[in-house]
Amino acid sequence: MRTTVTIDPEVAEKLHSYAHRRGLSFKKALNELILRGLSHQSLVKPERFQVEPHCGGFRPGIDANRLNQLVDELEVRDFIREAQNDR
């Protein structure tokens, strides 16, 4: 398959050097390194992410399920205070 790829100059320089050391054409060196990289990628397993739960730190009597209601009440208080100050 033919395709056009833009390679950064430093990558191209390293690729040419690799091809020269191995006695390969640029095309064969490129294909070999791409295949090696893709094969290596399939062998590497991502590190498992572990979630460590911790206490939310709410004080007794605060219902975490009703925090939105608390925010609404505080917004209403702020609105009323601002409206009274505008008079």
- Could you state, in order of their start, the residue ranges of all structural domains in the chain? 9-43
pTM: 0.47
Tens digit of pLDDT at every position of the chain (87 positions): 888 989 999 999 999 999 999 999 999 999 999 998 888 776 767 788 888 888 777 788 878 888 888 899 999 999 999 999 887
Phi, psi of 26, rounded to the nearest 5 degrees: -55, -45
**pLDDT given for residue 61 in this prediction:** 82
* Helix residue ranges, H only, 23-86: 26-43, 67-85
